[in-house]
Structure 1
């Protein structure tokens, strides 16, 4: 099913209207539907007025309780899938202030216990040196000092051993020369340092290795509840369990091609030597 970012906001109100109409057609009061679904009447009311976006499980429970025919249920479920997809336009994020996005990501870090990062062409905030963070913001208009500070503050979560982090990055991500050679050497040293943390697994995929699948986007999976996908113009947030499973499966596949532990650190040392050779 194609997802048009422009339609995501409309889908939420459309879903609320559809669920409300189905309940009325079934001749059920809100409190009776709530009892059948094991929900509160307040939750049903919030769903039907669009104040709460129901999860896919919530929608499935409601459709079963209303005994909605299979074809109509499929249409409503597809609508629910779109409603559970969020689009954040990069231009809008910049207008609001990138530090707000960092606060949102920090909250996701804190509320998750197992986080998987797949990085294609650049390193992410948790792996970046201060110089790399500043360079990654250099193209953004205006004062980015607060955003840089928030990015660096987020890195403290790596030392929370109640959480598990797995990073899989391509050689391109590790070697993309966002900085001059000497600073890139320091950046690679940071990757080595992070790879030694007890709750972190850091894997690298060298170029030249035969991989029958080709990745299209950088993505992150938080536990089994949420996935984010980065594009050139924004970020897609997915909550549909089928989408999350697809990205977890993709991550596991790429993870299988990566080098970890001492093998990864040896490869990072090779790439660092290439930068040193350019000095």
Structure 2
């Protein structure tokens, strides 16, 4: 199914209205439908008024209980898929202020126990040095001092008890020379240092070797409740369990290509030494 970003945000109200109308046409009360699908009447009411976004499984249960025709099932399921997907426009985020996005991420991180980051292009702020963060924001106009400070503040979450972090970075992400050579050496040293934290697993995927699969996007999975996928113009947020499971499967594939623990640190040390031996202006 093609997701049109213009439809995101409209679909939840459309979905709610269609489900309510289908129930009425079937001659069922909210209580009767709730019994048929083993949900509370309160949840049915919240779904039909748009206060709760139903999962695809919820929608399928309701449609089955209402004996909806196949063509209508396809249409309503498509709406449910879009309703469980959010588009975050990068230009709009920059207009609001990049520091506000950092506040949102910090709130999400506070409520998450296990994180899975797949980083094929560059290093995430949680693992970045101040110089690397500054360089990552340099292409965008404006004063980024608040955003940089918020990104650095977020790194404290790495040391919180009860949280587990899984990072996979490709060799390109680790070695892309976003900052001068000596700063790159320091950045790679930080990756090795963070990898020694007891609640952090940090894997790297070297370019060498045969890998009969190719990653497409940066993505993060928060517990098994939400997945974000980043592209140049923004980010997609998936809340449907089926989408999230696809990214969990992709992450497991990446794990199989990765070096971990001391093997990863040996490779990181090799890359850091390369930059330490590189003239400063390169």
Counterpart in 1 of 2:134?
A: 134
CA contact 1:129–1:187 (8 Å) conserved in 2: yes
Which residues of 2 match residues 90-109 of structure 1 at below 5 A? 90-109=90-109
Is the counterpart of residue 249 in structure 1 residue 246 in structure 2?
Answer: no
Would you identify which runs of 4 or more consecutive aligned residues in structure 1 move more than 6 Å? none
Shift of 1:143: 1.6
CA deviations on 1:128-158 (whole Å, 9 max, x unpaired) are 0111111111122212111111111111111
- Which deviates more from structure 2 when the two are superposed, residues 49-58 or residues 175-184? 49-58
Is the counterpart of residue 33 in structure 1 residue 33 in structure 2?
Answer: yes
Aligned partners of 1:136 and 1:90: how far apart in 2? 14
Shift of 1:55: 2.3
Shift of 1:47: 2.1
CA contact 1:217–1:230 (8 Å) conserved in 2: yes
CA deviations on 1:147-188 (whole Å, 9 max, x unpaired) are 111111111111123111111100110011111111111111
**TM-score w.r.t. length of structure 2:** 0.93
Counterpart in 2 of 1:263?
A: 263
Aligned partners of 1:44 and 1:5: how far apart in 2? 27
Counterpart in 2 of 1:51?
A: 51
Aligned partners of 2:28 and 2:109: how far apart in 1? 41
- Which deviates more from structure 2 when the two are superposed, residues 164-173 or residues 58-67? 58-67
Aligned partners of 2:141 and 2:57: how far apart in 1? 42
Unaligned runs of 5+ in 1: none
Aligned partners of 2:227 and 2:64: how far apart in 1? 27
Which residues of 2 match residues 55-70 of structure 1 at below 5 A? 55-70=55-70
Aligned partners of 2:38 and 2:241: how far apart in 1? 21
- Which deviates more from structure 2 when the two are superposed, residues 207-216 or residues 50-59? 50-59
Which residues of 2 match residues 224-235 of structure 1 at below 5 A? 224-235=224-235
Aligned partners of 1:272 and 1:57: how far apart in 2? 48
Aligned partners of 1:178 and 1:241: how far apart in 2? 35
Aligned partners of 2:159 and 2:9: how far apart in 1? 37
Counterpart in 1 of 2:184?
A: 184
What is the SS of the residue equivalent to 2:10? helix
Shift of 1:42: 4.2
**TM-score w.r.t. length of structure 1:** 0.94
CA deviations on 1:2-36 (whole Å, 9 max, x unpaired) are 11111222222221121111111111223333344
- Which deviates more from structure 2 when the two are superposed, residues 88-97 or residues 21-30? 21-30
Aligned partners of 2:56 and 2:102: how far apart in 1? 27
Counterpart in 2 of 1:203?
A: 203
What RMSD, in angstroms, separates the aligned Cα atoms of the two structures? 1.7
Aligned partners of 2:34 and 2:104: how far apart in 1? 32
CA contact 1:56–1:240 (8 Å) conserved in 2: yes
Unaligned runs of 5+ in 2: none
Shift of 1:70: 4.7
Shift of 1:196: 0.1
What is the SS of the residue equivalent to 1:43? helix
